[in-house]
Each structure stands twice: as C-alpha cells, then as structure tokens.
Chains A and B, each alone.
Chain A
C-alpha cells in the first residue's frame, strides 16, 4: 500500500516509529493549509514561512502526545493557532520592551492590489478571520464552525457572508 493512501492516524503511528517518509507524506498533505493558516494569523509571508517551519518541527516533537481523541487535522490546527498566537504575544512584548513601533514592511514585489486586500484583511478582527480560516482553509462545515465558536449556525453564515462581501469589494476594486 502506497503511503499516500494511508490515513492520518496510520501515518502518525509510522512517524512515531521514526518513519521519515510518512512524515514527508503528512507534511505534503497539510503544508499548504498550515502556511495559509499562519498567514491569516500574522499577515506576513515571511513570518508565515518561519512559523510554518517551527510548527512542523513541533509536530514531529509532540506527535507522541497526540492521543487520537480528535482528528489529526484538528490537533494540527490547534497547534498552529497556539504557536502563531504565542509568537504574536512574544513579539508584542518585545515591541513594548524596546518601545519600538514596528513599521509594516512593504515588500517591493508585492503589488498594490495585494496590499489593498491585505489591508482590508488586517482590519478584520482576529476572531472573524478565524471564521474564514476554519470554513475555507481547515474545511469545517458551518455546523462545526458554529459548535467550535459557540455561536449559532445562522449567525456564523451571516458573519462569513458579510466578511466575504467586504473582501470581494477589495478584490474587485
């Protein structure tokens, strides 16, 4: 049986036995989603790439503690969120310590349109961005998102619809 056909749980078992190929397959399965998730939390491509590397090392280090009470994706999603939020907290503390106002770096290769969409995204509160990432990056259903966030389904749908409306305007402008 090809490793790509294995379930997440099976791959986890193999990785715990130090199977590097299984780790590679699991990485390829979820790398894109983890990177997008990191980006949606920190809104920086460079930071997202750095955080993603740390997160996958952390996955390898902590996989033994994964008890399979949740899906691997849920566990990974939580690990990613915790790691990114801890990073943002520590960065915030460092900024306060040095009384430094961090200026947003404008990457020369980033086009104006991309910056505009990113600016709109930055004005959306973290909790609301979470709804979008859970729905469209993690692939949860509306019912699951509502359950995780302690909201009712119609409220989640309405919020997502409004957020997409704002973003669509920015994309189309």
Chain B
C-alpha cells in the first residue's frame, strides 16, 4: 500500500519533468556563500546582502 503510493507519487514527479539541482545552481550558491564570507572578512557583510534574505528566521 505504502509502496504503491510512493510509486504513484514518483510517477507524478516523473511526469512533471521537475528541475534537478544541477551543477550550475550549486556553483551559483557556493560562489554567493564565498562572497558573503569575504564580505564578512572585510566588514561589508550587511550591505552586501539583499534585505529579503535577512528576514528574521528564528522559528524552530
């Protein structure tokens, strides 16, 4: 039953032709993180980040 459900859901995912996390996305993210580390090092951390990414997120 559970396996059937997973099988159906996987078929849905296949049919949707979903994007995969390719190398380009990963490289972009790693570059941005590296950039933030450098920005922090030279003291321009907060001015280098778009405000929307600094939204408070403390909910756990």
Contacts of A147-167 to chain B: CB distance below 8 A: 160-161, 164, 167
Contact-residue size bin, chain A (C-beta under 8 Å from the other chain)? 35 or more
Query: Helix, strand, loop or mixed for chain B's interface?
Result: helix
CA distance A114 to B37 in the complex (A): 40
Q: For A61, give its contact among B6, B49, B60 (CB under 8 Å).
A: B49
Smallest CB gap from B35: residue in A: A57
Interface set of A (CB-CB < 8 Å, partner B): 18, 20, 23-24, 27-28, 31-32, 34-36, 39, 45, 48-49, 52-54, 56-58, 60-62, 65-67, 69-70, 74-75, 78-79, 82, 86, 110-111, 113-114, 117-118, 121, 132, 135-136, 160-161, 164, 167-168, 170-171
Shortest distance from the beta carbon of B9 to any chain A beta carbon, whole Å:
4
B33 at the A/B interface (Cβ < 8 Å)? Answer: yes
Report yes or no: A48 in contact with B12, Cβ–Cβ below 8 A. Answer: no
Residue B43 interfacial (CB < 8 Å): no
Q: Which residues of A contact B11 (CB under 8 A)?
A: 168, 171
Complex: how many Å from CA A58 to CA B36?
11
A82, B11: Cα distance in complex, Å: 27
Tell me if A136 and B6 are in contact (CB < 8 A). yes
In the bound complex, residues from chain A placing their C-beta under 8 Å from that of B52 are 54, 86
CA distance A126 to B15 in the complex (A): 20
A48 to B18, CA, bound (A): 10
